[in-house]
A = this chain, B = another copy of it.
Amino acid sequence: MTRIGLLHPGAMGASVGAAASGNGHTVLWASQGRSAATQERARRGALRDVATVPEVLASSEILLSICPPHAAEDVAAEAAECGFAGLYVDCNAVAPERTRGIQRIVENGGAEYIDGGIIGGPAWTREAETQMYLSGPRAEEVSACFVDSPLSAPVISERIGAASALKMGYAAFTKGSTALLTAILGMVEKEGVRIDLSRQWGDAFTAQTVRRVCDNTGKAWRFEGEMYEIAATFHAAGLPGGFHQAAAEVFRRLAGFKDYGSAPDIETVLAALLKRE
């Protein structure tokens, strides 16, 4: 039985915690200042509320950081300041270079670092096929907590950065090609040949593309930052970062659909993309 702390869990984090608590581990979180929706998710995941972050840090052997990616360094600094000295797992979508920066913060506080990268949606069921890839010298100890759980947590390397690179590589195509298709639809709309490209593409590919573009708009607000992480990852590998710099700009223009409710129709999406009034 391991005591696992979960810092700032959202929809994904709560499901990861649930996978560990389902295996009999004690999963701690801090409800202070969190929303009713988060509290409901924590109940669903059988997480144990210890009220405050310092209390989570004081009581955990393993700490999982699954937070909005822009906050990854702040969460690490909080752990280091509290002197957390267990295993710190950063599961966020950040570039390998950035994960090594977070490693330095965490190790200054006395903890050991494990790199993580999650691919897929919330891991409430096995059918979601969610993967939490891990890399680092002691990654097996974290992986062991999720054996036979709905979350698959394979160790891919002892190297910090490997898990993040894998996450970046996977998202580079799924989200990058969605952004590319969005931009293409914008261009042909602007040039007055959208109907002609649809005919050339054929009904099936066109319908699938339009659905994919529209369905992604609700998440665009949080994709912008991830696209910059991927661009940085390409750049560090000596490859051009322009694909995902452009993808970031596409998602930035669609960020306003965050609270739109349902998926907007394609005309509405393209109007936002092309900044029409």
| Dominant secondary structure of chain A at its interface with chain B | helix
**How many copies of this chain does one complex carry?**
2
1/0 per residue, CB under 8 A from B, across A154-174: the answer is 001101011001101110110
B191 touches A239 (CB 8 A): no
With contact pairs A187-B234, A273-B239 given, residues A159 and B200 touching in the complex (Cβ less than 8 Å): no
A187 touches B165 (CB 8 A): yes
Cβ–Cβ < 8 Å partners of A166 in chain B: 188, 191, 193, 196-197, 200
CA distance A190 to B169 in the complex (A): 11
From the candidates B180, B184, B191, B246, name the one contacting A96 in the complex (CB within 8 A): B191
Beyond contacts A156-B193, A169-B188: 5 other A-B pairs, Cβ-Cβ < 8 A, are A162-B192, A166-B200, A186-B239, A191-B233, A238-B274
Give residues in A with beta carbon < 8 Å to B.
Answer: 96, 119, 131, 133, 156-157, 159, 161-162, 165-166, 168-170, 172-173, 176-177, 179-181, 183-184, 186-188, 190-193, 196-197, 200-201, 233-234, 237-243, 245-247, 249-250, 273-275
